Amino acid sequence: MGTLNMLGLAKRIGARFLLTSTSEVYGDPLEHPQKETYWGNVNPIGVRSCYDEGKRTAETLAMDYHRGADVEVRIARIFNTYGPRMCLDDGRVVSNFVAQAIRKQPLTVYGDGKQTRSFQYVSDLVDGLVALMEGEHVGPFNLGNPGEFTMLELAEVVKETIDPSATIEFKPNTADDPHKRKPDISKAKELLNWEPKISLREGLPRMVSDFRNRILNENEGKGL
């Protein structure tokens, strides 16, 4: 509904409209890595469907307004992104691992930890969104870092960065959790002249120092 309202506003005032869509439009992909031409493998009635299908419908609306009302739209499909100032307890895997390691808690891995994700640092994403909005191509464009990690590999990088003695706790996996996630970014490279510059090992310490400060301040506030 929010997308529909904003598209109506963009039509009325002649604005360019940015839709921040998601890699979740690909569902649990049967194509690897995922190109923008891939239509996805999505369960329409699963526990994650309201998010996946909400974003897919938002893309549909954006393209209908573009074709039917000449609204200038730009569509970005954003893959996992991390960095400073994220919510400490937002449930995203990088935030979870970093906060758990700093708090000396076990790192929670769901399932066998072999599912993969690709992590881009927030400043790379911002550069991609700016390039998309300043360019003349509608998209959709995958904006993500093709560096692919299993959850266990990510846990190891977090341990190396924060606390090598941290332990890992396995829990049952959530339903419809995608097995693999890796963007093909050749379209963004070619048409937006964009690609991510910051590796996980370079970006993670920047996020860790921010999280560490906030968690220590939080603990001081509780008298810990």
Q: Which two tokens stand for residue 140?
A: 């959709």
Q: What's the rounded Cα separation, in Å, for the pair 68 and 45?
A: 29
Is 121 labeled as catalytic in the residue annotation?
Answer: no
Catalytic residue chosen out of the listed positions 51, 65, 82, 121: 51
Is-contact 189 144, C-beta < 8 A? no
Is-contact 15 73, C-beta < 8 A? no
Q: Which two tokens stand for residue 180?
A: 């693999």
Q: What's the rounded Cα separation, in Å, for the pair 10 and 33?
A: 33
Which of 22, 29, 150 minimizes the C-alpha distance to 77? 22
Q: Which residue has the tokens 């829990």?
A: 171
Beta bridge partners of 168: 107
Q: What's the rounded Cα separation, in Å, for the pair 89 and 49?
A: 22
What residues are labeled active site? 51
